[in-house]
Structure 1
């Protein structure tokens, strides 16, 4: 199945604009530069995220048995849709310039409300989550991404072990991440709740390549309290092509 192109055009950003007066500053790192250029019509970027929910590129049942259809449907149509709706409510309330990508808002999230933080993060995190999963997943990454993983973690096996540890040891609800740091090196970490490594309030920062949702609603119907089994199953559905494309854009 061919995945849809998640790049966001200037026209799409402007169609979602609230024509607000508050401009969000652009941070001088690769991801924010790329997203800013996209909003100005200077190209498109897989790293840019709009403020509306993107339709899934696969059926709810397509990721079975690793993620069951009911979990996918509830997760997408209830949880993620709720974040998108509440984010757009907050955008209007706080007069955000939506001609710029969501990443710009997250970069200065400390200037906004808790509602913006929770729902902006929740929307961004889930939009990435759907992108980096596929029913036609390859076993492992190839090319430059595979080389970077080996350089940063010693081997794919070591990378997988460290990522599973980050996901398994995140207390309560949150996310596990593979990111490109400011030094262009790969790093693994986790964040609580709906925070992410783009936020200026986050202790763990970088450009996200992979984000794994470890809130219980992401796995409980199928795995109950067995988070480790859910995390292990995730390797079977990672869309390494999209992750590699994000890596190329980030560096």
Structure 2
């Protein structure tokens, strides 16, 4: 059985991707940073539906953890796909009021984490390294276009880096059997919208997308699984907005 690694697979979009990936026939490696209970709940839901999954703890910003994740996941089966869903929004508010530790952590997880995971995936998927090909989907954000002023400028900048990573890596490995694409979610109804001390961003922005509502994690997962599938065999280097027109 081919393996799909989903970083940040314990909640939100990552958990939805893990569940749908299992339905589509993947053995799913559910990565999580600290919330073991949430990761195990995702794995249990997959098992209850007849799928194959296992939870793997690891900080994507730490090279040793990333390497260990990819090595351990191989016991589920050969790697076929990676979804880089792990990410944080970082400090909320104006950039000139943000602390440096929060800024650094945002970049380490969102940018370095995705880069490290892409590196390890290419080492296993690329025909240059003896692999048989595969697909990578990175999670960007519409914040990269909108900028998120007054809220998450650093997060937006980190997701702009994901766009560039996706386009460059896609062109680098296109002839090696590896497709690399990104999905840019807009306003999605997950717990990432809850800001401590502020409340849910959905209260303010729920009707702001032209489609008139927030999206769901499951709708985003459908787009991601399409990009992983053979139906998208001629799609690489694409950045797909899943934003309700926002």
TM-score, scaled to structure 1? 0.29
More strand by proportion, 1 or 2?
2
Higher relative contact order structure (alpha carbons within 8 Å, sequence separation ≥ 6): 1
